[in-house]
């Protein structure tokens, strides 16, 4: 397992996106999809988790989202409507409000105020993104509309889960 996102404060509140593994390892059309879980802890033993499947373009979108956050702009990630989405807003310096919107399953929203976050928190998230891309490289290429092939022969072996 790899944390694509891990944001936490000193009070025990956190929001994480944990990569559980490939959704369909070895199956050409689903090999690069990643099974993941959005995990929210609001403190005092209150937590929730939301299963998601991430597409390769979701990782690209996360990189773009980080750029907006570094520029001090509010941002949303996973806002296609097929999965729960995350909204990030820095209302005050040193604080980040993260909202998880579960539109597909019932419309519930959980907002977690995280304060204080370290000044270089986005650099940590970029490092996590690089780690996920290294562990789960994109191995399928679409050669034409609806036609796929392995990028470099057979797919790599699934990384071992770490506790």
Look up residue 26 and give its two tokens. Answer: 């070895």
User: How confident is the model at residue 19, as a pLDDT?
Assistant: 98
Preceding amide of 116 cis, omega within 30: yes
Rounded to the nearest angstrom, the gap between the alpha carbon of residue 136 and the centroid of all alpha carbons in its chain is 13
pLDDT at 43 over 90: no
Look up residue 19 and give its two tokens. Answer: 């990569």
For the ranges 17-31, 90-104, 127-141, the lowest mean pLDDT is seen at 90-104
Rounded to the nearest angstrom, the gap between the alpha carbon of residue 62 and the centroid of all alpha carbons in its chain is 7
The answer to whether 67 touches 75, Cβ cutoff 8 Å, is: no
pLDDT at 122 over 90: yes
Residue 33 contacts by C-beta under 8 Å, 6 or more apart in sequence? 22, 23, 24, 53, 54, 55, 56
Q: Which residue has the higher pLDDT, 130 or 148?
A: 130
Q: Please, what's the largest Cα pairwise distance for the chain?
A: 51
Q: What would the pLDDT profile of 60-86 be if each residue is shown by its tens digit?
A: 999 999 999 999 899 999 999 899 999
For the ranges 4-18, 55-69, 146-160, the lowest mean pLDDT is seen at 146-160
User: How confident is the model at residue 91, as a pLDDT?
Assistant: 73
Closest alpha carbon to 51 in 20, 28, 30: 20
């Amino acid at each position: 397992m790899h944390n694509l996102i891990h944001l936490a404060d000193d009070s025990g509140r956190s929001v994480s996106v944990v990569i559980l593994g490939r959704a369909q390892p070895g199956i050409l059309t689903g090999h690069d999809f990643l099974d993941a879980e959005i995990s929210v802890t609001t403190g005092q033993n209150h937590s929730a988790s939301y299963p998601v499947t991430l597409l390769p373009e979701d990782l690209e979108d996360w990189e773009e989202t980080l750029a907006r956050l570094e520029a001090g702009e509010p941002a949303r990630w996973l806002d296609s409507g097929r999965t729960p989405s995350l909204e990030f807003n820095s209302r005050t310096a040193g604080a980040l409000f993260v909202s998880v919107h579960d539109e597909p399953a019932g419309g519930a929203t959980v907002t977690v105020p995280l304060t204080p976050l370290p000044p270089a928190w986005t650099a940590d998230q970029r490092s996590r993104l690089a780690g996920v891309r290294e562990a789960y490289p994109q191995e399928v290429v679409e050669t034409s509309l609806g036609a796929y092939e392995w990028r470099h022969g057979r797919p790599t072996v699934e990384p071992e889960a770490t506790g």
